[in-house]
Amino acid sequence: MGTTPNVIKLKVNFELNTPNGLRRVIFGLSKDASSGTTVIWTIDFQLFERAKKSDPYGDAIVTLNVEVDKALNSKAEKAAKGLTAAQSAHALGPAADDAKAAEAGDIDEEEAQETIQNTLKKK
């Protein structure tokens, strides 16, 4: 007989769509409780675009994975229970803007990752 499984990683994906229906951000928050002693939060940020609403979204045009600073663990825990309006605005706004700017080489990837991580700081 099997035992009750223990969760070592939990990931929740929040799908954010822009009002014009042409862009989508998947803001994935995963909680990694692997060792049982430390918890690592990671943001998986993906940006999708399409030319027309009737077109399907293809592969993500930008994918960034950010390991959350441990000082923000409590904020990540809270964000996993749902993003606030300010967090959603930041994810779809500055985070997406910088993700694409990093992809285009206009800014460093580290800067984009920091902007993405700043989503958690919004109230």
Q: Quick one: DSSP state of residue 73? A: H
DSSP three-state, residue 70: helix
Site membership for another protein, residue 84 (CB under 8 A): yes
Q: Which of 15, 67, 69, 108 binds another protein (CB under 8 A)?
A: 15
| Binding residues with another protein: total (CB under 8 A) | 59
Asked if residue 45 lies in contact with residue 27, where contact means CB atoms within 8 angstroms, the answer is yes
Site membership for another protein, residue 58 (CB under 8 A): no
Calpha distance 32→40 (Å, rounded): 5
**49, β-bridge pairs:** 23
Write out the residues near another protein by the rule CB under 8 A: 2-19, 21, 23, 27, 30, 32, 34-37, 47, 49, 53, 56-57, 61-62, 80-97, 99-101, 106, 118, 121-122
